Structure 1
Amino acid sequence: MMRFKENQLKAADLIVNQQKQYLNDNTYAGSYIRTTDNIVVFYTTNVTAVDTILNLPAVIPIKHLLSFNVSAQNHFNLADLKARRNRVYQIAFDNNPVLLTIFVDVELNNIVVSLYHENDNVNRKFIDEVNQIIQNPPIVFESKDLSNNEQINSNASAIMRRVIQIPLLAGDGFCNLDQSLTCSLDYFGMRQAETGGLESVFVTSGRCYQGEIDYYLKPWGPLGIPPPNVYYRIGIMDTSETWYDYGILRIGDEVEPIPSIKNIDSHYYPEIQIWGRNLNQNIHLGIHLCKSGYHTRVTCGYQRSNDALFFTNTDRYKIAYIINIDNNRQDVGGPVFQFLNLSTASLFGILTGGIGNIGLTTNLDDIVRLAEVSPVGIGQ
């Protein structure tokens, strides 16, 4: 029922946003799907032609799903917001801040910088320059606690090699030999091998790359039960040097890749079958997106924004989707997906990182285009 309602609202959002002569970046401030209220909220400005839009033939049948009653609180239209965001981007390029992301929030009608290190000197120059240049109103800084998210785990234990194949699922953990690094797996895919045939690989985050070393499976089990103290070799990793985050794990003979997402906390659906990748442009704010990862397992939230930049300690990444969702550093690389029903899902991308409860996703379409690795799913 919830899935049907959300699809209905997405269709309504799309219909209204197609009326470009009346609704465009210069005439309104964005839309947001509120599934719980069964409406799509359109944030208006003083030039939004509300009456005209509501009486368009394509819109009349869906008027009951629309709300044009909320004015943009800072009176910015989408063009204003994007220009303001680009100014913050430029200040960031000039100052090289770390561990933060910058995005448009249509509900706040402002730019948000979600960050660690707000109250120390690490990002002070960037923060001061933003506050000096951008005023009336100032942008929104959301400070997050660093302690439980972007810290890399260290938990050494014996890793043994066995001549056996065990399942390798999206959302499972993997690590280096001494477990100073733990990340999560995204999706099982196929790519063209140098020999001309097809090669089985697993996609993850390039942020987990530590050179030409072996990486090992680090599975998670039911809640309250410690994971086994034996891990299995997956293989080595290729990584990207672009703005788009991905790494490609070559699969050895000790593991067997499965086109499913790990959801072992569910008694009825311990594996979510991957139908394939999402083929529709995801322009809808407020829709549900989920992720599976080693530390926080399967969690879901709502898409808050799209099209952001993420600054780490060393790199910059282009982010497609910003989600309000529980996540942890060890979840990086895991799949971001949307349920089609209780047992199947479509893939949207990779969890590239997080700032507190803000999850940052790289678009799967960009990964497929650049890495040339197509996901294996039951719908293909």
Structure 2
Amino acid sequence: MVRAQFEPLAKLWGVKNEKVPELLNREAKLIMIDGKLQPLLNNSYFGGTYIDVKVNKININTVDQSKVKEVKNSLQMKEYKNYLRFKKAINSLSQLKSTFVKIVKLAQKYNINSKIGIEPEANNVVIYLKDKNDPKNKEFIKNVKFFKPKIVYSSKKKKGKMVLNSFNSSTLVEKRQINQIVFGGDKITANYGPCSAGFWMKDQFQQDFLLTAGHCAYPYNDTSPKLFYRYYSNLAVLIGSMENYMVTPVDVGFIKKLTVNSHIRVVPNIRNIITTGVVHPIYVEYLIIGSVDIISAGIHICKSGFVTGITCGYVKSLDAVITIRRGSEDKIGGLITTAYSYYGDSGGPMFQFSYTIPFVYAVGILIGGRSNSYEAESYCEPIRTAFEYGYTLVHYPH
């Protein structure tokens, strides 16, 4: 059945596949309303919004209840007021933004590995830390308590086992003169280890580039060409060299496709990977028809990575600061989501489903995560970052 292509999203929402198109239409309407609503909310009286697709509501954190009537009766919201749910809140968005800036500065001062974002559902600044007992973290926690953030520590519970395909340089082949398609989510390799392919893009000269995470170019002080290969089913084919990459304040890398003797085909598709190296036997791919900016918390987001395949989660935080210490890398403006990911998924595409299958919209690429059998966060570098560097997305029709 074609609607089985909605399986990852049906699992997230806890509904049957047939129900997903209806909920996608509902979500799209709520996003549209939220876009009209947010400019009406004074940041001193309200503490952000987040969408709940299952109950068909936009939750509005409300510090001053006397302002509710004004919003409900506004010209923009009059016909949508049944979609609004005002929830009593302590923190205004102005307070949260001020607190967020101060906490980020403290995190930088103590040089900690952290993920910090304003999460509307928590109505608070939320800090994710790996180790409560790390001396630097202890000092940071002691100094940050004044701001009363929510602190989440990595679970010590046993992680689910992941099996990574080993990389064998003897499988690097140029002799098989066949076209090789690189899908979003496919395994790609270089010096650093396994990563996942993101989206195909073009520069101003209409040259083809594959977008992935910039940190896949590690080690950064190595000046030799950073060659990347598509690796699938014991076959590796040269894609090209990563000529342009950044790891801070954004995390993006652009692999230039070879123009001579290249057997790589550019197709704007995402591979429907079930688990490590296993593609769905019937519904092989999703087709990219454009891109979207994420403006609302609580909406769905999915990712494709060669290790964990396609998983979906919710957007928890917009414009977060994500610090991953491989040097001093602060990712500014990233999304924090609840999608499940694992080592090797980095660089893979993050996307949203269209209500018309098998079409999807590009959102960004995976740049890191913290996942086990009980909880998950995945961090997204928005696709707009690539646009800001002058690249355009390859999508259907093309």
CA distance in 2, matches of 1:256, 1:343: 20
CA distance in 2, matches of 1:200, 1:148: 38
CA distance in 2, matches of 1:102, 1:355: 13
User: Residue 55 of structure 1 aligns to which amino acid in structure 2?
Assistant: N
Percent of residue pairs identical: 24
1:264-343 equivalences in 2 (<5 Å):
264-265=273-274, 266-278=280-292, 281-313=293-325, 314=327, 315-340=329-354, 341-343=356-358
CA distance in 2, matches of 1:148, 1:176: 26
Q: Would you say the 8 A contact 2:99–2:147 is kept in 1?
A: no
In the TM superposition, residue 206 of structure 1 has moved relative to its aligned partner by 0.5
Match of 1:7 in 2: 28
Select 2:252's aligned residue among 241, 246, 253.
246
Provide the TM-score with structure 2 as the length reference. 0.82
Indicate whether 1:71 and 2:88 are aligned. yes
Q: Would you say the 8 A contact 1:28–1:48 is kept in 2?
A: no
Match of 1:61 in 2: 79
In the TM superposition, residue 241 of structure 1 has moved relative to its aligned partner by 5.5
Match of 1:224 in 2: none
User: Residue 385 of structure 2 aligns to which amino acid in structure 1?
Assistant: D
Higher helix proportion: 2
CA distance in 2, matches of 1:364, 1:296: 21
In the TM superposition, residue 256 of structure 1 has moved relative to its aligned partner by 1.5
CA distance in 2, matches of 1:15, 1:191: 33
Q: Would you say the 8 A contact 1:88–1:130 is kept in 2?
A: no
Indicate whether 1:256 and 2:274 are aligned. no
Select 2:45's aligned residue among 7, 21, 27.
27
In the TM superposition, residue 60 of structure 1 has moved relative to its aligned partner by 2.2
Q: Would you say the 8 A contact 2:126–2:149 is kept in 1?
A: no
CA distance in 1, matches of 2:156, 2:368: 14
Match of 2:97 in 1: 82
Indicate whether 1:231 and 2:240 are aligned. no
Select 1:128's aligned residue among 136, 139, 142.
139
In the TM superposition, residue 147 of structure 1 has moved relative to its aligned partner by 8.3
Q: Would you say the 8 A contact 1:144–1:355 is kept in 2?
A: no
Match of 1:358 in 2: 377
Q: Would you say the 8 A contact 2:273–2:304 is kept in 1?
A: no
In the TM superposition, residue 329 of structure 1 has moved relative to its aligned partner by 2.0
Select 2:132's aligned residue among 88, 97, 118.
118
Match of 2:199 in 1: 187
In the TM superposition, residue 242 of structure 1 has moved relative to its aligned partner by 4.2
User: Residue 84 of structure 2 aligns to which amino acid in structure 1?
Assistant: L
User: Residue 209 of structure 1 aligns to which amino acid in structure 2?
Assistant: A
> In structure 2, the residue corresponding to 1:329 is in which secondary structure?
coil
Select 1:103's aligned residue among 112, 117, 125.
117
Select 1:209's aligned residue among 190, 206, 217.
217
CA distance in 1, matches of 2:147, 2:103: 15
In the TM superposition, residue 146 of structure 1 has moved relative to its aligned partner by 10
Q: Would you say the 8 A contact 1:131–1:139 is kept in 2?
A: no
CA distance in 2, matches of 1:214, 1:16: 47
Match of 2:208 in 1: 200
CA distance in 2, matches of 1:274, 1:145: 38
User: Residue 46 of structure 1 aligns to which amino acid in structure 2?
Assistant: D
In the TM superposition, residue 86 of structure 1 has moved relative to its aligned partner by 1.0
CA distance in 2, matches of 1:133, 1:311: 17
In the TM superposition, residue 43 of structure 1 has moved relative to its aligned partner by 1.1
Provide the TM-score with structure 1 as the length reference. 0.86
> In structure 2, the residue corresponding to 1:348 is in which secondary structure?
strand
In the TM superposition, residue 355 of structure 1 has moved relative to its aligned partner by 2.5
In the TM superposition, residue 236 of structure 1 has moved relative to its aligned partner by 1.5
> In structure 1, the residue corresponding to 2:171 is in which secondary structure?
coil
1:286-311 per-residue CA deviation (whole Å, 9 max, x = no partner) reads 11111111111111111111111111
Match of 1:173 in 2: 187
Unaligned runs of 5+ in 1: 220-227
In the TM superposition, residue 268 of structure 1 has moved relative to its aligned partner by 4.8
Going from structure 1 to structure 2, the CA distance change for 1:338 and 1:160 (only over 3 Å counts) comes to same
Indicate whether 1:49 and 2:64 are aligned. no
In the TM superposition, residue 342 of structure 1 has moved relative to its aligned partner by 2.1
CA distance in 2, matches of 1:299, 1:159: 29
CA distance in 2, matches of 1:101, 1:171: 24
